[in-house]
Amino acid sequence: MRRRTSPRRTPKPQPIGPVQTFHVDGLTHEAKGVARLQGKVTFIDGALPGETVTAQVTKNGRRFDEAILTSIIDPSPHRVEPACPHFTVCGGCSFQHLSDEKQLAAKQDWLKGQLRNLITTQELEPLSDAPFGYRRRARIAIDRIKGDIVLGFRGKASSDIVSISQCVVLTDGLQKVFLALKNTLVNDELAGALGHIELLEDTKGVSVLFRLTASISETLEAAWDAWAEKERIALYWQAPKASKAEVAIAKMRHYDLGDLTLSYHPQDFIQINASMNQKMVAQAMDWLRPNKQDTVLDLFCGVGNFSLPLAQQAESVIGVEVQDSMVVAARENARLNGLENAQFIAADLTKPVNQELFKTKITKVLLDPPRAGAFEFLDSVIKIGPTQILYVSCNASTLARDAEYLVAKGYRVERVSLMDMFPQTSHVETMMLLHKKK
Ligand SMILES: C[S@@+](CC[C@H](N)C(=O)[O-])C[C@H]1O[C@@H](n2cnc3c(N)ncnc32)[C@H](O)[C@@H]1O
Ligand code: SF4
């Protein structure tokens, strides 16, 4: 069986200087302590503001140095014991050494900086939930290091795969299946044919997707199908070079959202934090307050995560999504939930706009784009002229760019919320409500 070649590795940083003492007075977005030595900024991974630490420089830059922490002389009162044994080496989390309260405060400070041209008197309204056990989807990397099979995530300081025995941000269901999988897989020939593994938990239970990089025998496949049945796991196989469409479409997944049920393909986008998703959708409904006078345009709608709750309250909803399979799922979701007032259009929102969108009088727009933002579609939104725009963003810098444009074209920022979808990581989600100026 042929094994894939490993991607080029970023080596672990090595000390290049003596151990020195630093006083830390700031924190970067990636949770690095900021200190100054003879006027030069040094970023120290693992150090917190207010601490006196010793560290060794690993990289000399023109404007700043980078260093690794060697000891903490005077710890911050906000330092906590990381809940995960892999925290210092795994790249998945960056904030487990800081109390939950201070993590949120650090994210708020950072977000205020990103949105400094947009928010003046508005408070950043926080939305948060459980700090651990929230992640219902994960991609597990697999590698062979010194002859041993390693399952885990990419490292903090290097691109090597770090072997994981427990991951406390995963849901309980995924933590259990990860352990069962790891114990069975490490000594099995399937490991040599895997590119990565995707774990997913939803209302239907747990599913595992094996992404193959080499073909395997029917006997091996049957043995793993039997394992999955015994563990009550839905198993998906993605053959080498197979597209998403070739992964058993018959076995759609589903998740509940309030009194709605949404089906989706296991490789479709869904929000990773289920309980925060419930809260986020509820907040969107509360801020937009759709009513029977409203036709709402839900841009980047996925399988209808916002469109369906909107359709329960608005006169009608039009969802737009680039992936045909998700548009089909969204239509099916509206039908299964008895919502006849939601229609879905397949369109690429970075390309010239679909004229169908301008035929109906749209009163409110919800935007939930990927990290690149929605800049290409903003002139069309302005032409549509909704009274309210609700922007949900996973990238504060593209949100700032897009919102500044909307403000320049006649909208004002009404409310902003920092949604802590991924506690322990530096990731920040934002919701912003804009109103058309009179
Ligand atoms: C952040 S997800 C939001 C999905 C949905 N609103 C939800 O809450 O589940 C962004 C969605 O935009 C879609 N998308 C990405 N690029 C797009 C484009 N150029 N045009 C339209 N949709 C796009 C993705 O397929 C994905 O479903
Ligand atoms: S992603 Fe999981 S394994 Fe990695 S540090 Fe976070 S909790 Fe630990």
- What ipTM was predicted for this assembly? 0.98
The residues with which 127 forms a beta bridge, in sequence order, are: 419
Q: Alpha-carbon distance 339 to 43, whole Å?
A: 53
Q: Alpha-carbon distance 148 to 56, whole Å?
A: 31
Residues 281 and 411 in one domain: yes
Whether residue 210 is contained in a domain is answered as yes
Ligand 1 centroid – CA 369 distance (Å)? 5
Q: Which residue's CA is minimally distant from atom 15 of ligand 1?
A: 370
Is residue 375 helix, strand or coil?
Answer: helix
Q: Alpha-carbon distance 269 to 370, whole Å?
A: 10
Which residue from 286, 278, 298, 277 is spatially nearest to 394, judged by alpha carbons? Answer: 277
Q: Quick one: tokens of 135?
A: 């992640």
The residues carrying an active-site annotation are 394
Ligand 2 centroid – CA 151 distance (Å)? 13
Could you tell me the CATH number of the domain that includes residue 214? 2.40.50.1070
Q: SS3 sequence, 137-189?
A: EEEEEEEEECCEEEEEEEECCCCCEEECCCCCCECHHHHHHHHHHHHHHCCCH
Question: Which ligand 2 atom is at minimum distance from the Cα of 166?
Answer: 3
Q: Quick one: tokens of 56?
A: 């060794």
Residues 233 and 279 in one domain: no
Tens digit of each residue's pLDDT (9 = 90 or more) over 241-273 = 776 666 655 578 999 999 999 999 988 999 999
Whether residue 214 is contained in a domain is answered as yes
* Ligand 1 binding pocket mutation candidate from 273, 318, 321, 367 (most atoms within 8 A of CB): 321
Question: What is residue 157's predicted lDDT score, i.e. its pLDDT?
Answer: 76
Tens digit of each residue's pLDDT (9 = 90 or more) over 14-25 = 888 889 999 999
Average pLDDT, the chain: 92
Domain extent, residue 148, equals 137-241
Whether residue 118 is contained in a domain is answered as no
Contact assessment for residue 167 and residue 92, using Cβ atoms and an 8 Å cutoff: yes
Residues 288 and 235 in one domain: no
Tens digit of each residue's pLDDT (9 = 90 or more) over 369-423 = 999 999 999 999 999 999 999 999 999 999 999 999 999 999 999 999 999 999 9
Query: Which ligand has the minimum distance to the alpha carbon of residue 167?
Result: 2
Which residue from 14, 91, 97 is spatially nearest to 56, judged by alpha carbons? Answer: 14
Residues 214 and 144 in one domain: yes
Could you tell me the CATH number of the domain that includes residue 17? 2.40.50.140
Q: Quick one: tokens of 149?
A: 């099979």
Residues 353 and 296 in one domain: yes
Whether residue 103 is contained in a domain is answered as no
Number of domains, the chain: 3
Whether residue 261 is contained in a domain is answered as no
Q: What is the mean pLDDT of residues 153-181?
A: 93
Residues 189 and 285 in one domain: no
Q: Alpha-carbon distance 334 to 32, whole Å?
A: 45
Q: Alpha-carbon distance 395 to 373, whole Å?
A: 7
Please name the helix (run of DSSP H) or strand (run of DSSP E) that holds residue 218, with its range, or none.
helix 218-231
- The one-letter amino acid at 266: P
Question: Which ligand 2 atom is at minimum distance from the Cα of 84?
Answer: 8
Query: Would you say residue 1 has pLDDT above 60?
Result: no
Q: Alpha-carbon distance 247 to 242, whole Å?
A: 8
Residues 424 and 297 in one domain: yes
Q: Quick one: tokens of 136?
A: 């219902």
Number of other residues whose CB lies within 10 A of the CB of residue 7: 10
Q: Alpha-carbon distance 363 to 192, whole Å?
A: 54
Tens digit of each residue's pLDDT (9 = 90 or more) over 125-140 = 999 999 999 999 999 9
Residues 325 and 182 in one domain: no
Tens digit of each residue's pLDDT (9 = 90 or more) over 28-60 = 999 999 999 888 999 999 999 999 999 999 998
Number of other residues whose CB lies within 10 A of the CB of residue 165: 12
By DSSP bridging, strand 64-74 and strand 124-127 are: unpaired
Q: Alpha-carbon distance 260 to 336, whole Å?
A: 9
